[in-house]
Chains A and B, each alone.
Chain A
Amino acid sequence: MLARPDRFFEDRFGLTTSVMERLLGSALSRADHADLYLEYRVNEELVLEEGAVKKASRHVSQGAGVRAQSGERTGYAHTDDVSLPNLEEAARQARAIAERASGSAVAAVDSGRPPHDLYTLAEPPIAADLGRKLALLREVDAAARGADPRVRQVIATLASEDLVILIVTPSGFTVGDVRPMTRLSVTVIAEEQGKREVGAFGGGGRVAFDFFLEGERWRRYVAEAVKQAVVKLGAIEAPAGTLTVVLGPGWPGILLHEAVGHGLEGDFNRKGTSAFSGRIGEKVASELVTVVDDGTIANRRGSLNVDDEGVPTGRNVLIENGVLRGYMQDRLNARLMGVAPTGNGRRESYAHPPMPRMTNTLMLAGQDHPEDIIRSVSRGLYAVNFGGGQVDITSGRFVFTASEAYLIEDGRVTTPVKGATLIGNGPEALTRVTRVGHDLRLDEGTGTCGKDGQSVPVGVGLPTLRIDGMTVGGTRV
């Protein structure tokens, strides 16, 4: 729909690239780095509940952020009134910081990568016909109610977004990106003898609306949501204490995001406040473990052609055969640490300055058959679906909460257990990985990561994994 971000902002707001370069050049020439970020975003959300689409909404937001950096200082100003006088004012405010610092001796290192083309779509999801979207939501509702008589409530949400960004720097560097996104979420509530449980599943990515219809993919979302709710109706209390845990493939990769991902973001390591600070080259995981953050996988939710500072994303190796190899960087932290930016500078919107963030974080496949991994455990927990997680970056303590889990008894998956939080210590948890499956799977495409009040879409991926000794926060002592 909007193939040329530079022309888009020129046509819409009269902001030509040369006008913006001049603005930056005059205001911010003494900064170590300066940039102007323009954004135009349209969101649409359709919600079905109680059998009908009763909520529909559409949102437009636009704005600009101007940034100046000198040494460790960042001045950031943003406005949602995208006119030249406002941008000039924003630039003046950002400059106020830069002027007081003397030039920094730290030189920027270029990432040297070309931008990607990972999600060009014939028809962006937001442009797809509303009638087709409504029809899909109704089919989801009917399928969920038909799947099991215990299903009492179905909530299905179809969200679509189109985001156009343009980044301009005083050196004449201009890069734009058009980023489509869509997500279909299904939540069901099942009831049996006065007991209620919830199940939720969904998927999406930087894909067209037809993605949900391919091979009737949406039916799997429905089946998984219904299965989760119904299984939990029969779940017993989860055990409490230290257990061997087997994680299923895909979304349980949230383990990586919490246990090592955040702790390997450049800002915490530049400041020395991460449990992983200063540990490059050290062994932080079992030699079976290789973890990468890969923003270059086509059509994935966490992927980007360029990050929000215009740096092309990459496939960055974080842990290789158990050894810590690298951090994820934005321009500021890369410059201050004397390394190249890695394409991980991201921001929620024009209202936020960028910081180092994950894209798609995954563990590479190992050798083991998933069935053999389960068979190898005499008593443990098999967790296949998770809610959210959180980490204390400084102490390294992280949690993530299982929403679908089963006991493993004598090598067999047996009784479902209630949701329980798993807790561990980042630099140590992956040293206890003893088996890695050959079944690497990426998540379905619904993940959102929060940091310092900024949310960005991310992905994770994991093969079946055995960890010997994780604390399971159940209620059965």
Chain B
Amino acid sequence: MIDLLREVLGRATARGATEADAFAVEDQSFSAQVRLGEVETVKHAREQHLALRVFVGRAVAAASTSDLSRESVGRLVEEAVSLARITSPDDLGGLPAASELAGRVPDLALDDPVGHDLSPEAKIELARRCEGAALASDPRISNSEGGDFSDGRARYAYATTHGFAGEYRTSSFSLSVSPVAVQNGEMQRDGWYHVSRQRARLDSPEEIGRTAARRALRRLGARRVKTAEVPVVFDRDTAASLLRHVAGAASGPALYRGASFLLDRLGKSIAAPAVTIVDDGTIAGALGSRPFDGEGLPIRRTVVVERGVLASYLLDTYSGRKLGLPSTHHAARDGSGVSVSTTNLYLAAGDADPKDLIGSVKNGLYVTELIGFGVNGVTGDYSRGAVGLWIENGELAYPVEEITVAGNLLDMFQAIEGVGNDLVMRDRTSAPTLLIGKMVVAGS
């Protein structure tokens, strides 16, 4: 693939590009869905993609194609160069300095050379076992949206006109199930999943199935609650979603556009002292790891929030230049050009037992699911639909639904009164259980 990229870059230079970079992705995937024990959908796919970014002087444009024929690649170069002749020049544009490029491509164990060696029948069987375990765990689990297994292998390559060329492979395996619990005419769906880069490290199908069933069952008998201002405990998954909002506001493009509630907050307190947030792309075998960023810069560990103080933004080269700061090596690529993304983002574990966090609440909410898009990244205003369990005298008392939780993200992070000791890095973004001292829960 690197040969193809070099050829494309050579052609772009010949057509008048002063600088250019290109990346290619090749992807093969399989997925199987089983519902109520029967195979429902099986998918096989093969995809490829080539994207080119060119600079003509200080003006930039991008083009991409899934057709890698010679003729099509020629058109791609023509289109990118002619688009760059109509865009406005920008003095801060351009590739990062050659001296900053990653010198070597570290092996982060992102691919599984043996794990894909399973027959379609065996893969279907994994999905069937996962769903089967959910259905078998309780008679009230009487329906299902299905169990899924999928695996994929991808190859990424990236090259620039100023000398960088690197490639790496990734694998991924996932198992998930969405059972439906039924009781007295009430239906509740929930689910559980696991994703891993190594098949051998995938949680057992039975464990995933049983967890999913437990999650659906505990939602039965859901009630509404009265509108009140109360302490709110976020479970690990919903706490991780709060982290994603912080990362969005800390990303360079949001900041230089003035569209972030973290504008001008670098070096200032944005959270309670118990909060430390880290982005680490160097963890071997982790889902968010990558050996170099979308501009060929070496990947690293970045402390974003240190004991409550905003310690770093998340920047690519361009947004860094706009803000007068160096890139933090968080460039990500899509066909339209460069954006910013986190790698493995987590909130460092605290020392509280999650049971004690719940135990400390006399009357409040334990959130297990959030829905909707009620987050304003410019102001930090937050209002989302929630599902969870009501806490009475330190105990999880009954399920609740059709309620919202609302506040402002800056206030919420300052009001974090407890950080759980239960961090598990099971996704690209991970957090321990969090206790927020006060939020508005709206209901009846």
- Which A residues have a C-beta under 8 Å from some C-beta of B? 45, 49, 52-63, 72-81, 86, 90, 93-94, 96-97, 130-131, 134, 152-153, 155, 189, 191, 196-198, 238, 240-242, 271-273, 275, 351, 353, 387-395, 397-401, 418-421, 423-425, 471-477
Is chain A's interface secondary structure helix, strand, loop, or mixed overall?
strand
Is chain B's interface secondary structure helix, strand, loop, or mixed overall?
strand
What's the Cα separation between A75 and B32 when bound, in Å? 9
Q: Which interface residue of B90, B219, B377, B440 has the most chain A CB atoms within 10 A?
A: B440
Whether B43 lies near A77 (C-beta < 8 A) is yes
Whether A57 lies near B62 (C-beta < 8 A) is yes
Give the shortest distance, in Å, between B297 (CB) and chain A (any CB). Answer: 21
What's the Cα separation between A392 and B41 when bound, in Å? 22
- Which B residues have a C-beta under 8 Å from some C-beta of A? 35, 38-49, 59-67, 72, 75-76, 79-80, 83-84, 86-88, 90, 93, 120, 143-145, 180, 187-189, 219, 222, 227-229, 257-259, 263, 335-337, 371-374, 376-379, 381, 383-385, 387, 401-408, 440-444
Residues of chain B with a CB closer than 8 A to A198's CB? 259, 376-378
Contacts beyond the supplied A55-B60, A353-B41, A423-B402: 18 A-B pairs with Cβ under 8 Å: A54-B93, A61-B65, A72-B40, A77-B45, A78-B47, A93-B44, A155-B257, A191-B258, A390-B373, A390-B385, A394-B187, A399-B384, A401-B373, A423-B442, A471-B403, A472-B442, A474-B406, A477-B440
Whether B80 lies near A81 (C-beta < 8 A) is no
Partner pick for B444 among A63, A78, A242, A397, CB 8 A cutoff: A242
Give the shortest distance, in Å, between B59 (CB) and chain A (any CB). Answer: 8
Residues of chain A with a CB closer than 8 A to B46's CB? 78-81, 86
Residues of chain A with a CB closer than 8 A to B44's CB? 76-78, 90, 93-94
Whether B41 lies near A76 (C-beta < 8 A) is yes
Residues of chain A with a CB closer than 8 A to B444's CB? 241-242, 471
Residues of chain B with a CB closer than 8 A to A397's CB? 371, 385, 387, 401-402
Whether B41 lies near A60 (C-beta < 8 A) is no
Which A residue's beta carbon lies closest to that of B120?
A96
Residues of chain A with a CB closer than 8 A to B381's CB? 418-419
Partner pick for A420 among B61, B227, B406, CB 8 A cutoff: B406
Residues of chain B with a CB closer than 8 A to A97's CB? 39, 42
What's the Cα separation between A346 and B255 when bound, in Å? 37
What's the Cα separation between A394 and B385 when bound, in Å? 15
What's the Cα separation between A362 and B257 when bound, in Å? 36
What's the Cα separation between A401 and B189 when bound, in Å? 23
Query: Contacts A60-B72, A97-B42, A420-B406: A189 and B378 contacting too (C-beta < 8 A)?
Result: yes
What's the Cα separation between A53 and B86 when bound, in Å? 9
Give the shortest distance, in Å, between B135 (CB) and chain A (any CB). Answer: 14
Partner pick for A57 among B61, B189, B263, CB 8 A cutoff: B61
Whether B42 lies near A96 (C-beta < 8 A) is yes
Residues of chain B with a CB closer than 8 A to A473's CB? 374, 383-385, 403-406, 440, 442
What's the Cα separation between A198 and B144 when bound, in Å? 41
Whether A420 lies near B383 (C-beta < 8 A) is yes
Residues of chain B with a CB closer than 8 A to A61's CB? 49, 65-67
Residues of chain A with a CB closer than 8 A to B38's CB? 72-73
Whether B378 lies near A58 (C-beta < 8 A) is no
Give the shortest distance, in Å, between B310 (CB) and chain A (any CB). Answer: 17
Residues of chain A with a CB closer than 8 A to B72's CB? 60
Whether B374 lies near A420 (C-beta < 8 A) is yes
Whether B401 lies near A395 (C-beta < 8 A) is yes
Residues of chain B with a CB closer than 8 A to A86's CB? 46
Partner pick for A80 among B48, B60, B257, B259, CB 8 A cutoff: B48
Whether A59 lies near B335 (C-beta < 8 A) is yes
25 contacts between A and B (CB under 8 A): A53-B86, A54-B60, A54-B88, A57-B83, A58-B61, A58-B80, A63-B47, A73-B38, A76-B43, A77-B43, A78-B44, A80-B49, A196-B258, A196-B263, A242-B227, A271-B145, A275-B187, A395-B222, A399-B374, A401-B383, A420-B383, A421-B384, A421-B404, A473-B374, A473-B383
Give the shortest distance, in Å, between B229 (CB) and chain A (any CB). Answer: 5
Give the shortest distance, in Å, between A113 (CB) and chain B (any CB). Answer: 27
Residues of chain A with a CB closer than 8 A to B385's CB? 390, 397-399, 421, 423, 473
